[in-house]
Structure formats: C-alpha cells, structure tokens
Amino acid sequence: MLQNALIRLGRMPQFAALRHRGFRLLWTATLLSSTARWADMVIIGWLTLELTDSPLMVGIVAGSKMAGYVAAPFMGVVADRVDRRLLMIIAASVNLAVSALMLGLFAFDWLALWHIITLALVSSLTWALDHPTRQALMPDLVNKEDLTNAIALNAVAIEITVVIGPAMGGLLIPAFGMVGAYALIAFVYLADLIVLLMLKPVKHAVSHSQESPARSLIEGMKYVWSNQTVLMLLVIACLLNLFAAPYRYAFLPLFARYTLDAGPTGYGMLTAAAGVGALVAGLWVVSLGNVERKGRMLVWSALAWPASLLLFALSTWYSVSMALVFVAGLAQAVAWTVIATLILGHTAQSMRGRVMGIRAGVVVSLPLGNLLAGAFAERVGAPWALGAYAMAAIVMMVAIVVRVPGLLRLK
C-alpha cells in the first residue's frame, strides 16, 4: 500500500525520484531505520537517567551513541569499494541484533549500565557505516536528472523521523514499558532489514585505483587542509557539534525531568519539537532553490541556534521551552544544510566522497560535547551548563566572522 502511494507521488515533479523502484525502497528503509534510531535515543536517555539519576551518565551514554562517527571517514572509503547494498544489510542486521539483545536483557531483568554503554557503542558504528553508504547508494538508484530530487527527499525523510521517532519513544515508555518499547523498536528494525533485502543488487563504479584506502583518506585530508573555505566550514561544523548540538542528547532529558517536570512523554515531545523545526527548515530551504547569500544564511542560523538555547536555559515554562526548542531545531537544520551545500559547491568532484566522509567524521566532537555537558551539568546544574555552552557557541561564531569576514560573502 505504501509503495503504491509512493508510485503515485512519483508522477508529480516534486517527487520525481520516487518513480524509481530502488529509491522508493531506500526511502522507505530510511523512514524505518531513522524512526527506530530516534525512538531509541529518547528511550535510552530516559532509561539512563532513571537507572543512575546522574547527568554525567546521561552524557556518557549519549556520547557513546555518537562515538562511532570517528570511523565515518574510513566508512566512506569502504562504501566506495564494497557492495553498498550488502553494507546496508549488515548495518541493519546489527541494529536488529542490538535492539533484540536490549529486549532480552529487559525481559529477564539482567540489564546493567555497562550493557547500555557497550550496545550504544556498537550501534554508533553501524550508523557511521550506514550514513555514508546510504548517501553513496542514491546515485546508483536514480538517473542524473532526478538525483537532486532524491537527495532532497532523503533529507525530508530523515527530518520527518526526527519528529515521529522522539514522539514515539516518549509515548512508548508509559504506554508499554521498556520491554514493549524495545519490542516495537526491534520490529521496526526487522521491517527495515526486509525492505533492504527487497532491493536488487546494484552495480556501481568501484574505484580501481591502486591507491590504498589509507592513502586515499590521507589525500582527502590534504585536500581539505589546502582548501581554506572547506576547512573553515568543517571547523564551524566541529565547533557547533561541540557546543550547540548536545542540547538534544545530553540536556533535554535533564530539563524534562528536573526543570520542567515533564516526564518521558514531555521529553519526547521536546525532542519532537526540534524535529518539527528541522522539517519546516528543510522544506523552506528546498523551496528557496539556489540562494545567493549562503554565507549570510549560515552566520545568522549559527547564531540563532545557540541564542535560542540560551533563552531555553532560562525558561521554566514548558510551552515557552517547546517554542524555543522548535526555533533551535529550525536554525540547526538551516545551518547544517547550508554547510553541506557550501562544502559540496567548493569541493572538486573527484574529492567529494572523501570530503563528505570527513564532514561526517567531525561529528566526533558531538560525543565529546555530550560527555562534557553531562559532567558540567552534574557539577553546576543543567541550566547553567547549557547557558555556558550556548554562550561559547555564540562567542565562537562571532570570533570566526570577525576573523574571516569573507564567510559572509560565500555563495
């Protein structure tokens, strides 16, 4: 039924990529896997807080969930050399196994904190493999004319799940308990695996270079170092991941429990509000087409994001906090979209795969930010810690604009 609906959508020019069966399956798999991932993020954050009553441990678990991204540049090289469909099936199988193991540990009352951290690290590696592989597979599934549309639709699919997943995670805990919640997550991962198995094997142009994977990666890093525009954009992405992005993972469960007294459902709704903002931003940016002043858009969004978090840190009203998280999600999505667009626009075609792998790799600053956020919040409280993080992000962006005024003129 879903595939028939997608076929009908594919007849419209706005959804042209859905005409291709392979992309329809990939898009469906993206909806399933990303929904399960976001639901799991909410559940695992709340579970850690209930088990330990420690902001530091929430930060450690959130950091573990992202730690695998340190391997993203290497995974990007693998995605250019190995059957991408097979890599995605492997990643989906591991995700299913992790969620099934969590379900079993809950069912037999064996779950300990070290289980949570270990399984979070394993799942972080599967996502580091899945993300660049999924991006690299899209050109193999659609023709050149529909590629831009496919990339935009894939981004919208992820943004939809950033709304659905956290809301589902927040509702599953009080409705079904942890056992029921993980049973449903395991079922969604199983559906994801089945859809990927329906994909036909796709032949893609595997690199025949005699260059070793390590040398390939080193050449990509040298290119980034010599390209000052790309290097500056990667530095901005790294610092925003360090100071701004941890609000979703390390801070929201703390505010939901201690400041806003909103419970797991309220926590899920707060995370979903950020997803709604991201979805609105994604649709807005797509509707704008090729914006000329991308540098200005990046600066304003990268300032609005931490500014909204600074106000959120001061808020004790749930409705106001929801609105501010919505703004943060919107600004965050605009910043990430513009950074990706500028990086691709200022990178040679032969280097784009490696550069985007390195771009995914700078997300490694996010687990570090989550870890430090948890430790800081445990020492001074969540509002003070988030306020300090937001101020650091604002000062950082102002310093970069003053030091590199050409950023505002990027197109």
What is the three-class DSSP state of 144? helix
For 345-386, the DSSP string reads HTS-GGGHHHHHHHHHHGGGHHHHHHHHHHHHHHHH-HHHHH
pLDDT above 70 as % of the chain: 86
Span 207-236, average pLDDT = 77
Task: Specify the residue for token string 């809950």.
Answer: 106
On whether the CB atoms of residues 303 and 390 are closer than 8 A, the answer is no
Span 29-48, average pLDDT = 87
On whether the CB atoms of residues 192 and 29 are closer than 8 A, the answer is yes
On whether the CB atoms of residues 123 and 71 are closer than 8 A, the answer is no
On whether the CB atoms of residues 242 and 389 are closer than 8 A, the answer is no
Span 15-19, average pLDDT = 75
What is the three-class DSSP state of 157? helix
Angle at 272 between CA 17 and CA 112, to 5 degrees: 110
Span 37-63, average pLDDT = 84
Interatomic CA distance for residues 60 and 317, integer angstroms = 28
pLDDT in tens, 181-193: 888 899 999 999 9
Q: How many CB atoms lie within 10 A of CB 404?
A: 16
Q: Which long-range contacts (CB under 8 A, 24 or more apart) does 319-324 make?
A: 321/255, 321/260, 321/270, 322/269, 322/270, 322/273, 323/273
Least-confidence region, from 38-42, 151-155, 295-299: 151-155
Determine the pLDDT at residue 58: 83
pLDDT in tens, 337-373: 788 777 767 777 566 666 766 777 777 787 788 888 8
More confident residue, 384 or 49: 384
More confident residue, 344 or 143: 143
Determine the pLDDT at residue 64: 84
Closest CA to 159 of 279, 312, 294: 279
pLDDT in tens, 77-120: 777 677 888 889 999 999 999 999 999 998 888 888 899 999 99
Determine the pLDDT at residue 203: 63
Task: Specify the residue for token string 């660049």.
Answer: 132
pTM above 0.85, yes or no: no
Interatomic CA distance for residues 47 and 253, integer angstroms = 10
Span 209-236, average pLDDT = 79
Rg, the chain, Cα only: 20
pLDDT > 60? residue 2: no
Angle at 180 between CA 64 and CA 30, to 5 degrees: 55
Model confidence band, residue 208 (pLDDT cutoffs 50, 70, 90)? very low
Determine the pLDDT at residue 287: 59
Closest CA to 250 of 334, 368, 151: 368
Question: Which of 1-5, 266-270, 316-320 holds the top average pLDDT?
Answer: 316-320
Q: Please report, for residues 33, 99, 131, the alpha-carbon distance to residue 194 in angstroms, rounded to integers and kept in the order given.
A: 11, 16, 18
On whether the CB atoms of residues 359 and 340 are closer than 8 A, the answer is yes
Interatomic CA distance for residues 283 and 297, integer angstroms = 15
For 279-317, the DSSP string reads HHHHHHHHHH-S-S-HHHHHHHHHHHHHHHHHHHHH---
pLDDT in tens, 286-319: 555 556 677 888 999 999 999 999 999 999 999 9
Interatomic CA distance for residues 326 and 269, integer angstroms = 11
Domain spans of the chain, in order of start: 2-200+212-409
Q: Which CATH architecture has domain 2-200+212-409?
A: Up-down Bundle (1.20)
Least-confidence region, from 57-71, 316-330, 389-403: 57-71
Determine the pLDDT at residue 95: 93
- Determine the number of helices (DSSP H) and then strands (DSSP E) in the chain: 17, 0
Span 4-22, average pLDDT = 64
Please give the structure tokens belonging to residue 204: 């893609």
Q: What is the DSSP letter of 62?
A: H
More confident residue, 129 or 288: 129
Q: Using CA of residue 56, residue 58, residue 61, residue 66, what is the dihedral sign?
A: negative
Interatomic CA distance for residues 274 and 47, integer angstroms = 21
